[in-house]
Structure 1
Amino acid sequence: MATSSRYRVFGGDLTERPTEQRWEETYRGLDSIGQQYPVITVTGNHEYLKYIIRKLERRFSLVFSYYLDSMVGENQVYTLKYNDMQIFCLDSNREFFYLWTQKKWLEEQLKKSNARWKIVVLHHPLYSIKGSMNNLFQRTMFNPLVEEYGVDLVLQGHEHAYARMTAHGENGEAQAPVYTVSHCSPKNYYIEFDKRFDKFGTGSRYYQQIRVHGDTLTMNAYDATTNDLYDAVDIIKDKTGKSRLEDRGKEIPEALIFHSNGGKKEEAFQKRIDEYKQRKGIQ
């Protein structure tokens, strides 16, 4: 989840399953938020019914009715421009043909956008922390556009941990786009600690606050259980549109919380954690 003083953005899976009971739980959870702030969300796989060709449970579009006007075919896509920022919402749960249609929509929207700051939101991470072969269709469809059209920030969910990956230029300097994975579920994934990522968090829940001030877009990530600052990045853009990045999160210790019960998967994950800590010099 990303927060702003003006609206709330969710990365999908607002409901556990698309059933009456689960939707009622979702409505109760959103009730106090929705009375104070506009809610923007993308679809997650838990909003879909499990058919051979996936089918979105119809209440999603009826509740988040801005999709009724913005859908392209059966694709739940939406874009919102707010001052100098534009958000592009994708439906990463779909089959290849639908992703191809969304690719064309996203390129059209990015081409005509005059927003200084561009943020893409989708459920499945373009760079997975579960394994390098995961979400290949999504990465193939969308990531070339993210890079070509100067997207600054990619907000993602689905894989239950925190991770942040930063692009780097030819000289190794950090630059946009910045990719984040975040979640607020009680379930935790056994992730891979890919060297392309700058920072990880396991065993807790996280939310982000995105703020634009002057020539800077700030992304602060917080531990939802303590509300302590967990990660922080500034994307600073000059008048020509060229950006540089200040990584304030590298000074904040990484929390890798895990308690093995002795099973093979648990032991393998604990070993990955230990190897990562040794690589990063984490005590």
Structure 2
Amino acid sequence: MVAVGAMGVAPAAEPNTQVPAGSRHYAASDFPDRIVASPAQDAATGFAVAWRTSTLSAPPLLELALAGDSPDMGRLRQITANSRILQSENGTSQHHRADIDGLQPDTLYAYRVQGQGTWSAWNHFRTAGAAGQPLTLLYFGDTQNKNLSHVSRVIRQGWQTAPDARLALFAGDLVSGGDGMDDSEWGEWFAAGGWLLPGMAVAPAAGNHEYFEEFEDTPQERRVLGGHWPVSFALPGNGAVATANTTYWFDYQGVRVAVLDGTSALDLGTAQAQAQWLDGVLADNQQPWSIVVVHQPLYPLRAERDTSVLATQIRPVLQRHHVDLVLQGHDHTYGRRADDNAALPQYISSVAGPKQYRLSPQARATMEPVAEDTQLFQVLHIDGKQLRYEARTATGRLYDAFQISRDGKGRKQFTELREGRIAPRDCPRPVSPKGRDDRCWE
């Protein structure tokens, strides 16, 4: 019998995508889609764009102009894209990348990308400004499941809460994968991102669900990066040699951001190589702030997680270079804690999607605040002297906040901001809709 309450029928777990079986709704066409911009290593002078079409007869162009108030775009700069083919359940698609350099800082540009006899809309993109110029950025934990149905509202609320945001960090597991609908899942992720993706500098980390198991259940079983990741984003390409497709760094308006690959570190033995690379990236950092993004948390929030390799190899580098924030995902709950011996780094794990796990007793004892059964996004306001962090729920309510202040000598002070936070949230269900007691929601 279906339960009925004051609001009607009780909701049940939904399919992972809105795509009916056998549908090729997200098949590539002559029209460009899945347009996403990402920062260059120096985000003040360049950015890159990735997009997708069906197979084209000639390399497509990106056209760029200074954004103005007239429909006359004036003199256009044309850049020829590099392209790669991808095969998926939706057929053949061609993925393109165009790198734009030599730009002016803090300048609004208009760009469009080409298909087969077609063009995209004109998109606006503003380059990063100077180091002391105020910056607002968004951070999203795992999206992964039901992107179009559930994640889209979190991304919309994030943009409505912080309409001046220029940079968006994603902590990995953008899609779930592995069910024969990978391309449709990516299609829904891009649909959920809407106009944010082509108009903002988007910097994702790869999660374990961006990988798949090759030769599964055989002695040769191994983790392999999925085919969508290398072609879906135009990332800086300056990472560790062992993880060239999934690690990178860039400077954005006073912040040095370094993105790691926790899956490769844990499962493919690249932790030491990534630690050495990160050490070099942070050693010459002239920016007043530093953020590291990695999918798997160094301090796990879910029971029976073991990320001790990250703790052993990566944490000493973070401590040595006084990193401010470590932004993570993976455990599908929320939790924040300081480093073992200092207020910084602050280690934060969050989840934007509807898949919700349960916190371990260890996480509850060592982290504050924590949350279950809560979709979240994070807003960071940064300038040369202050970093303010806010975690907000899918409806925009303040759940967590703190501030890091920087004096004239570079010394930093951490302050909790408790005013305006809503009450802590725990899972109210003994089991998930599918009867699992290790999850709160599917």
TM-score (norm 2): 0.55
- Alignment partner, residue 393 of structure 2: 223
**Is 1:247 aligned with 2:416?**
yes
Which secondary structure state, in structure 1, belongs to the residue aligned with residue 270 of structure 2?
A: helix
- Alignment partner, residue 254 of structure 2: 84
AA aligned opposite 1:204: T
1: CA distance between counterparts of 2:300 and 2:345?
16
Kept in 2: contact 1:99–1:138 (CA 8 A)? yes
Q: How does 1:1-283 map to 2 (within 5 A)?
A: 2=139, 5-17=165-177, 19-51=182-214, 52-68=221-237, 70=239, 72-75=241-244, 76-94=246-264, 95=267, 97-131=269-303, 134-167=306-339, 175-193=343-361, 194=363, 195-224=365-394, 226-249=395-418, 252=421, 253-261=423-431, 266=437
- CA deviation map 1:89-133 (0-9, x unaligned): 001011352122111110110111111100000100000011375
Shift in Å, 1:269 = 9.1
AA aligned opposite 1:41: P
Shift in Å, 1:248 = 0.8
Kept in 2: contact 1:117–1:151 (CA 8 A)? yes
Please say which structure displays the higher CA radius of gyration: 2
- CA deviation map 1:59-109 (0-9, x unaligned): 212121215454523341111111211111001011352122111110110
2: CA distance between counterparts of 1:166 and 1:250?
20
Number of residues of Structure 1 aligned to a counterpart in Structure 2: 264
Kept in 1: contact 2:351–2:375 (CA 8 A)? yes
2: CA distance between counterparts of 1:206 and 1:178?
17
AA aligned opposite 1:47: E
AA aligned opposite 1:81: D
Kept in 1: contact 2:371–2:426 (CA 8 A)? yes
2: CA distance between counterparts of 1:99 and 1:45?
15
2: CA distance between counterparts of 1:132 and 1:219?
29
Kept in 1: contact 2:190–2:197 (CA 8 A)? no
- Shift >6 Å, 4+ stretches: 262-265
2: CA distance between counterparts of 1:41 and 1:181?
15
Kept in 1: contact 2:288–2:384 (CA 8 A)? no
2: CA distance between counterparts of 1:69 and 1:265?
42
AA aligned opposite 1:218: R
Kept in 2: contact 1:176–1:235 (CA 8 A)? no
1: CA distance between counterparts of 2:310 and 2:279?
14
Which secondary structure state, in structure 2, belongs to the residue aligned with residue 102 of structure 1?
A: helix
Shift in Å, 1:167 = 3.4
AA aligned opposite 2:352: C
Query: Percent same amino acid at aligned positions?
Result: 25
- CA deviation map 1:216-266 (0-9, x unaligned): 111100001x11111001011222322111111377321223211499974
Gaps of 5+ in 1: 271-283
2: CA distance between counterparts of 1:214 and 1:114?
12
Gaps of 5+ in 2: 1-137, 140-157, 215-220
